[in-house]
Amino acid sequence: MFYCYMSSITYAQLGEKDFVAFVGGPNCAHTLLPPLENLATVEETVVRDKAVESIRSVAESLPGPDVEKHFVPMINRLASGEWFTSRTSACGLFVAAYPNSISTTKTELRTQFKKLGADDTPMVRRAAAGKLGEFAKVVEPASVKQDLIPLFHNLAADEQDSVRLLAVEACAAIATLLQKEEIETLIVPTLRSASSDKSWRVRYMVADKFTDLQKAVGPEVTKSDLVVAFATLLKDPEAEVRAAASNRLKEFCENMQEDYRTEAILNHLMPCIQSLATDANQHVKSALASVIMGLSPIVGKENTIEHLLPLFLTQLKDECPEVRLNIISSLESVNKVIGIGQLSQSLLPAIVELAEDTKWRVRLAIIEYMPLLAEQLGVELFEEKLNSLCMNWLVDNVYAIRHAATLNLQRLVEKFGSQWAQTAILPKVLSMSNDGNYLHRMTTLFAVNVLAEACAANVIVQSMVPVVMEMANDKVANVRFNVAKTIVKLYNRVDDTTVIKEKFVPVLQTMTQDSDVDVQYFASEALTVVNVS
């Protein structure tokens, strides 16, 4: 059974571009259609889909006469097949045949497609609904209005929700082909109906495709109809629909015209947003948190402070870690709007609280944002509010936090300079070399490794080298062999031959006689580098 399935998949690849050449080129490409036609009728959906894809690929190579002689008859056979499998496959082939067909054939193809759209079997109607938008793009505008719009209305009102939701996808494609007045009369009523459909799956599809629909119908329809419809979706009884609409919130607001955008957001959408910020479903809150910060540049400073800041604070304290993470990751966009003064007064206390969050991924997100926050706060405010946090992370229980904390220090030194590091960072880092926990002593070495990249040579010699040399006598072998690795890093940053000959070389030579074989190995490796000169 498995063998037959894999063989079918392999044969379905007959439509690959290179394979047409194997049968004699475009003039013989039609010989590939019969086996692919058989595969387009099989029960396995994956095989049928691959067969349809291959047939469409072959159709690109067919000369015009062969389209009429071989391709269109094949579509007709599939479209009138006894089993629904062949009829579903046929729905995906009309778009490939239509552009290269003569006028009378085009009429036949449209008639055949409409027939499939009214098929007794829901799976066939679903296939027609899924391909309707694609087919409409290759059909003449007059025929779209005459033949496909009525079909669209029928599919959008189908008794099966799986058909109706696919009609929603076709809605955006068809709307792009119509004039403004035609959109208002032919598309908007159906779109309005779909937004309040009895099936949540249809409403979900509307929410998920809402910005595509918005772009298709234009700004005037957005103002008159879509703003209210979008607000309805944000208040939908189903959490999946609310989450899908929330994901599209920022993009929907950005796409609105400026002359009514702020008013629409404050009057129609803000009440919904305030409700979503405390939604009972964490996926809804998380979806909102991922986009809500992006509203700040849209509504401006005053409205951000009045309407959005309270929501940011609420979500920063949310019990769901993902909600907090999504807010933290977007703080930069808010800072650009309200300024660091307002940010430090309103959000910084909450950020400081999150720095000690029980979820390590939340702490990690705060660390990654810290260099940017430091740049915005400036040296004095950073030292006052956040420097102690950066030091505390170095002794966190989670390795990923300790590692991120050392990299964070490097970026801070790059921003504030070596002299700042010597007074504000290094004393705490180097004091950990005497900590009773060997993991903290290891963190000292990791920090020295990365800080050496950002600090001046004189700071390295004065502050780092003495501590590292002392740690060569640590009782834990892991610490000692990491000292050997660190010496290589320092050697690459220091050009003082006295330090190299009087400190690095003697220490490494002693370590080559260490009782631990790993220490011996890494010391020998380091010595070959340091002794090159």
Per-domain boundaries in the chain? 429-533
The pLDDT, as a whole number, for residue 13 is 55
Q: 197: which 2 tokens?
A: 């459909």
- Residue 246 in contact with residue 236, Cβ under 8 Å? no
The pLDDT, as a whole number, for residue 338 is 72
Residue 2 pLDDT level (bands cut at 50, 70, 90): very low
Q: Please tell me which residue, 378 or 195, carries the higher pLDDT value.
A: 195
Q: How large is the average pLDDT for residues 194-202?
A: 92
Residue labelled with tokens 């999150």: 354
Q: How large is the average pLDDT for residues 316-345?
A: 76
Encode pLDDT of 277-304 as tens digits.
Answer: 999 999 999 999 999 988 988 988 889 8
- Residue 251 in contact with residue 244, Cβ under 8 Å? no
Answer yes or no: is pLDDT of 475 > 80: yes
Q: How large is the average pLDDT for residues 344-354?
A: 73
- Residue 157 in contact with residue 118, Cβ under 8 Å? no
Answer yes or no: is pLDDT of 527 > 80: yes
- Please write down the long-range contacts of 25-32, taking CB distance under 8 Å and 24 or more positions apart: 25/61, 26/61, 26/62, 26/63, 27/63, 27/66, 29/58, 29/61, 29/62, 29/66, 30/58, 30/62, 30/66, 30/69, 30/70, 30/71, 32/58
Residue 116 pLDDT level (bands cut at 50, 70, 90): very high
Instruction: Enumerate residues 6+ apart whose C-beta is below 8 A from 33.
Output: 55, 58, 70, 71, 74
Answer yes or no: is pLDDT of 163 > 90: yes
Q: How large is the average pLDDT for residues 206-228?
A: 90
Instruction: Enumerate residues 6+ apart whose C-beta is below 8 A from 434.
Output: 441
Encode pLDDT of 386-444 as tens digits.
Answer: 888 888 888 888 889 988 888 888 888 888 888 888 888 888 888 998 888 888 899 99
The pLDDT, as a whole number, for residue 19 is 67
Q: Please tell me which residue, 386 or 476, carries the higher pLDDT value.
A: 476
CA–CA distance, 98 with 96 (Å, rounded to integer): 6
Encode pLDDT of 27-41 as tens digits.
Answer: 777 788 888 888 888
- Among candidates 349, 252, 330, 235, which has minimal Cα distance to 286? 330
Encode pLDDT of 380-390 as tens digits.
Answer: 878 777 888 88
pTM to 2 decimal places: 0.72
Residue 24 pLDDT level (bands cut at 50, 70, 90): low
Q: How far is CA 446 from CA 399, 408, 414, 453, in A?
A: 11, 12, 17, 12
Residues constituting the chain: 533
The pLDDT, as a whole number, for residue 22 is 62
Residue 68 pLDDT level (bands cut at 50, 70, 90): confident
- Among candidates 233, 318, 330, which has minimal Cα distance to 283? 318
The pLDDT, as a whole number, for residue 7 is 46
CA–CA distance, 125 with 127 (Å, rounded to integer): 5
Domain boundaries 429-533, corresponding CATH code: 1.25.10.10
- Burial (0-12, 13-18, 19+ Cβ within 10 Å), 194: buried
Residue 5 pLDDT level (bands cut at 50, 70, 90): very low
Answer yes or no: is pLDDT of 87 > 90: yes
The pLDDT, as a whole number, for residue 17 is 52
- Residue 317 in contact with residue 350, Cβ under 8 Å? yes
Answer yes or no: is pLDDT of 8 > 70: no
